[in-house]
């Protein structure tokens, strides 16, 4: 029994020790200073005095100079890339929420690595939350506008996404079925193509015709030799026994020389 109690006490001690390790120190900040900084950032972004395209087209040196002026005016440090993202988000919020009207009090949520400042805001079309996120050095990482949607709007968007997803799947399946249905025509096309390739093979007996022509030419030459030999023998008044024909050459001209 004593061993069980000792084991339980050890487990509780370890649990409290781990709990103590997780309780890290939160970020230290001055709420009034953060509020003023957030107000200045909101005024610059919402004024429309500079656009994200203008900042993006600047050189690195000009962007650095711009952000140094930004820090001097607002008291908040911010990278040029994060500033461009904030400007883009504000432009997108105009299409989604409408024109900015006002905002409420700031609320702070801090941890060991981030400080989040949220203020409920009113726009012409819908309500939204202005959210500022700072890192452990109180450097502004992001400024976003989170629109508030009703349950009906959320369900409508979910339904549209579902329809688009299922519609895309069914369209792909129908297209695949159409492609598969065309496979039945493939054997006929293959047979037709192979039949066309086999037709030229029937012309193979051509060499036999050439051989017959050569044999005829050879027989014609033999008869020609016999005729010529007989003519010479008749002219000389002798027989053809002593004649030997070495070769026969055709003259280029068919006229006899005197």
Q: Which of 56-60, 92-96, 188-192, 253-257 has the lowest mean pLDDT?
A: 253-257
Considering the four listed CATH numbers 3.10.620, 3.40.50, 3.30.70, 3.10.450, the one that applies to the domain covering 25-148 is 3.10.450
Domain chopping of the chain, boundaries: 25-148, 153-197, 209-244
**Longest Cα–Cα distance in the chain:** 155
Residue 186 clears pLDDT 90, i.e. is over it: no
pLDDT at 258: 46
The radius of gyration of the chain's CA atoms, rounded to the nearest angstrom, is 50
Residues with Cβ within 8 Å of residue 104, at least 6 apart in sequence: 119, 120, 121
pLDDT at 233: 75
Contact present, 55 and 63 (Cβ < 8 Å): yes
3-state class (DSSP) for residue 125: coil
End-to-end CA distance of the chain: 151
pLDDT one-digit tens code per residue, 143-176: 999 998 878 877 887 888 888 898 899 899 999 9
Residue 197 clears pLDDT 80, i.e. is over it: no
Residue 180 clears pLDDT 70, i.e. is over it: yes
Q: Are strands 107-110 and 139-147 parallel, antiparallel or unpaired?
A: unpaired
- Would you tell me how many other CB atoms lie within 10 Å of the CB of residue 183? 8
């Amino acid at each position: 029994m004593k061993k069980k109690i000792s084991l339980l006490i050890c487990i509780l001690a370890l649990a409290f020790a781990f709990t103590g390790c997780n309780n890290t120190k939160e970020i230290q900040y001055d709420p009034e200073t953060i509020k003023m900084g957030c107000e200045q950032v909101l005024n610059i972004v919402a004024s429309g005095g500079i656009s994200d395209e203008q900042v993006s087209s600047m050189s690195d040196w000009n962007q650095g100079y711009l952000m140094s002026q930004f820090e001097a005016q607002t008291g908040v440090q911010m990278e040029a890339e994060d500033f461009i993202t904030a400007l883009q988000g504000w432009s997108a919020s105009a299409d989604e929420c409408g024109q900015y009207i006002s905002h409420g009090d700031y609320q702070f949520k801090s941890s060991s690595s981030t400080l989040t400042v949220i203020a409920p805001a009113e726009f012409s079309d819908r309500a939204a939350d202005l959210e500022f996120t700072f890192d452990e050095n109180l450097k502004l990482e992001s400024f976003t506008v989170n629109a508030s949607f009703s349950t009906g709007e959320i369900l409508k968007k979910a339904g549209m996404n579902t329809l688009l997803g299922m519609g895309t799947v069914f369209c792909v399946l129908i297209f695949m079925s159409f492609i598969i249905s065309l496979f039945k025509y493939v054997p006929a096309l293959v047979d037709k193509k192979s039949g066309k390739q086999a037709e030229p093979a029937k012309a193979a007996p051509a060499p036999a015709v050439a051989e017959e022509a050569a044999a005829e030419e050879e027989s014609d030459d033999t008869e020609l030799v016999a005729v010529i030999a007989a003519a010479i023998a008749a002219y000389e008044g002798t027989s053809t026994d002593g004649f030997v024909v070495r070769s026969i050459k055709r003259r280029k001209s068919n006229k006899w020389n005197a």
